[in-house]
Amino acid sequence: MGLYCFCLFTTNAQNTLQEYKNIYPNYNELVVNDVQNYNITIEDKKLKIIQDNHYESIILTENGIQNNKESFSYSELIKLKSYDAYSIINENGKERKIKVTQTTEKQAQESSVFYNDVKERVLTFPNLEAGSKKVYDYQTEFMDPYLLHKFIFGNNIPIQNSSLEIKTDKEITIGYKIFNDPNNNIIFSKTEKKGKWIYKWTLKNITPLKFEDNSPGFLYIVPHINIYIKDYTVDNKVIEVLGNENKLFEYYKGFVKNLNQKENVDLKALSLDLTKNQINDADKIKSIFYWVKNNIKYIAFENGYEGFIPREANFVFERKFGDCKDMTSIISSMAKYANIKNVNLAWIGTRTIPYSYAEIPTPSVDNHMIAVFKDGEDYLFLDATDKETRYGIPTAFIQGKEAMLNENGSYKIISVPVVAAEKNEIKEVVKLAIEKNKLIGSGKLELQGYNRSHTLSRIGDASNKTRFEMIKEMVLKGNNKFNLKEYSEENQEERDKPYVINFNFDLDNYIVKVDKEIYINLFLDKIYDKMTIEKGRVSKFEFEFLTCFNTKYELEIPQNCSIKYLPKNFSLDNELLKADFIYEIKNNTLLLNIQLKQKKILLETSDFQLWNETIKKLKNNYTETLILLEK
């Protein structure tokens, strides 16, 4: 099948470069057209889905020439049929096409946890200058009617015209849902032409996407459409595809219905051996879970339906590596060998995906697979892809998400909790003494929950000077004159215990002495003081997880000194943060107890003002200084 004819996109062809620059000032490039067309028909009693894509941009300035590459993707399930790409340059007042000859195919860097066979075709456009255009067209065929793509109305550069068109036979019913278009700016039409339904959505003059730190992901802000096929009719029989959770589950169930039917003697023996000294199922599954974390390496690579079908536990056991589905397969299989009840497979989306199953019950709602153990009325989420996360809490990137649980051949939608801040506590005791003009200190830092697992994952197997510098960065106090003398670590291999760092240090140029007065700010760590949310932020502000800080500074007061000024205690409690800064005097020791707890993992734009006001109050108290007076 040849490429779709895109002659309808020439309406803006007469615009001159200067006219474009006047309409879109301060931009180096403009997407003139970003257009996608589906043609969905019934052939030989099956659905045939062809997608045509057209992209056209114009270089507005000399700086825009640097962006001379574009790319598109495809896979075993979305096959590339043809493509064409060329630059259009102005030569003596006439447009001339120069074909793209420099193209490469590479593995796409998918952030998704499963489905990793995606190829990316990279195009390098020749002879670009201000006023040149980059144009490419490509056609793909969707081999599976359950796997239609979402269409996104947005880019990091402005777009003049963006549209999605779907042409179907009248025997085909489609469904769709629009996200992030609160003012209904996307124009929709449905028409009939030559016995076909034609659906079209258009959005014009789209401003560039603003990429911001701590954003939950662009799908939370960019206008987009998720489309799917509901059903089609062949020989007066309606064939269901998607449209509700049960239909999605039936599709998924087909991938796992024959999983792990054949017994593996060695894997069974291992499963029984790991659990032989355990009394209850919770302890048994914990032993299996930790064995998988320790012995099966996480590697994601799939082709075609391997992105959806878990591999046999026998195979995973033999080669000692696998992806999320493979780890789920071996955990559930080992649980069965060990006679542990209520361990099942579940599909789940990571936090980059904003949808619920009720909103859009299609494969776009999830990208990950885990095992789930039902312990009484509680569900425990067993995701072995993160090596360090302890048993009992889910991986951080699925907190707050829904899982579709396969429970004895029926589905159940269950929610993953957001782990309480107290379970991710950072606890620290720092003992301080004044020696001449230096602070001398020793500390003990304990990290629990995600703070433990994420820290150890980041440190990895770093050693010697590299590890020393990483530890120093973690325990650094006061200013850049902080000198870490020595440190020791505890419980690196004990997931159920806090990771502990013991350390000794000195801190120069921190104490201020004026005549007989000594000024010391005991807030050697100023938590969140640099986390003011900038004005005009568009996206929500996401934390990876909630944290509870519990810090105690103990300053030994020199015998020749008395306390001239002691800062006031401070307390704050709102829906975002709880903070308490409490000073105590015990014998010749001054104590500052700092407790600070996060309450909300995702800040809405409506929370930003309160958050900034809260941080301002914290910062005001961080400046409070203790004054000692020499006798």
Helix, coil or strand: residue 126: coil
Average pLDDT of the chain to the nearest whole number: 93
The answer to whether 151 and 228 have CB atoms below 8 angstroms apart is no
Q: What is the DSSP letter of 448?
A: -
- What six digits make up the tokens of 410? 């029926």
The answer to whether 68 and 106 have CB atoms below 8 angstroms apart is no
Spatial CA neighbour of 226 closest among 242, 247, 211: 242
pLDDT tens digit string along 379-430?
999 999 999 999 999 999 999 999 999 998 999 999 999 999 999 999 999 9
Written as one string, the DSSP assignment of 14-36 is T--HHHHHHHSTT-SEEEEEEEE
The answer to whether 498 and 394 have CB atoms below 8 angstroms apart is no
**C-alpha distances in Å from residue 147, one per residue of 119, 250, 387, 506, 553:** 16, 14, 31, 60, 56
- Does residue 117 have a pLDDT over 80? no
In words, the CATH class of domain 421-630 is mainly beta
Helix, coil or strand: residue 315: helix
Amino acid at 171: E
Classify domain 7-237 at the CATH topology level: Immunoglobulin-like (2.60.40)
Amino acid at 113: V
Provide the pLDDT for residue 1: 34
Other C-beta atoms lying within 10 Å of the C-beta of residue 548: 20
**C-alpha distances in Å from residue 541, one per residue of 217, 221, 271, 545, 600:** 10, 12, 43, 12, 10
Provide the pLDDT for residue 532: 96
pLDDT tens digit string along 30-84?
999 999 999 999 999 999 999 999 999 999 999 999 999 999 999 889 999 999 9
Cβ contacts of 566 within 8 Å, gap of 6 or more: 583, 585, 590, 626
- What six digits make up the tokens of 534? 């900038």
Spatial CA neighbour of 621 closest among 591, 589, 580: 580
pLDDT band at 112 (very low <50, low <70, confident <90, very high): very low
- Does residue 113 have a pLDDT over 50? no
**C-alpha distances in Å from residue 324, one per residue of 45, 114, 318:** 35, 7, 16
Distance CA 76, CA 447 (A): 44
Other C-beta atoms lying within 10 Å of the C-beta of residue 608: 17
Spatial CA neighbour of 53 closest among 92, 90, 3: 3
Provide the pLDDT for residue 92: 81
Same fold, 7-237 and 248-415: no
- Does residue 140 have a pLDDT over 90? yes
Longest dimension (CA), the chain: 101
Burial code (b: 16+ CB inside 10 Å, e: under 16) for 216-252 equals bbbbbbbbbbbbbbbbbeeeeeebebbbebebbbebb
Distance CA 259, CA 121 (A): 35
Spatial CA neighbour of 507 closest among 477, 472, 471, 468: 477
Q: Report the CATH architecture of 248-415.
A: Roll (3.10)
The answer to whether 303 and 279 have CB atoms below 8 angstroms apart is no
pLDDT tens digit string along 427-443?
999 999 999 889 999 99
Cβ contacts of 9 within 8 Å, gap of 6 or more: 32, 33, 35, 54, 56, 161
Cβ contacts of 117 within 8 Å, gap of 6 or more: 75, 76, 301, 302, 303, 304, 306, 307
pLDDT tens digit string along 210-260?
889 999 999 999 999 999 999 999 999 999 999 999 999 999 999 999 999
Measured in degrees and rounded to the nearest 5, phi and psi for residue 275 equal -110, 5
**C-alpha distances in Å from residue 464, one per residue of 439, 471, 481, 570:** 26, 11, 21, 41
- Does residue 541 have a pLDDT over 80? yes
pLDDT band at 362 (very low <50, low <70, confident <90, very high): very high
pLDDT band at 631 (very low <50, low <70, confident <90, very high): confident
Provide the pLDDT for residue 107: 74
Please list the residues that pair with 406 across neighbouring strands.
Answer: 411
pLDDT band at 109 (very low <50, low <70, confident <90, very high): low
The answer to whether 236 and 345 have CB atoms below 8 angstroms apart is no
Cβ contacts of 450 within 8 Å, gap of 6 or more: 389, 393, 396, 419, 424, 544, 545, 547
Find the angle CA(195)-CA(200)-CA(201) to the nearest 5 degrees. 170
Distance CA 295, CA 299 (A): 12
Spatial CA neighbour of 198 closest among 163, 233, 236, 223: 163
Provide the pLDDT for residue 3: 36
Decide: residue 442, CB within 10 A, 0-12 exposed, 13-18 middle, 19+ buried.
middle
Domain boundaries, the chain: 7-237, 248-415, 421-630
- Does residue 12 have a pLDDT over 50? no
Distance CA 413, CA 458 (A): 33
The answer to whether 341 and 376 have CB atoms below 8 angstroms apart is no
Which run of H or of E encompasses 247?
helix 245-256
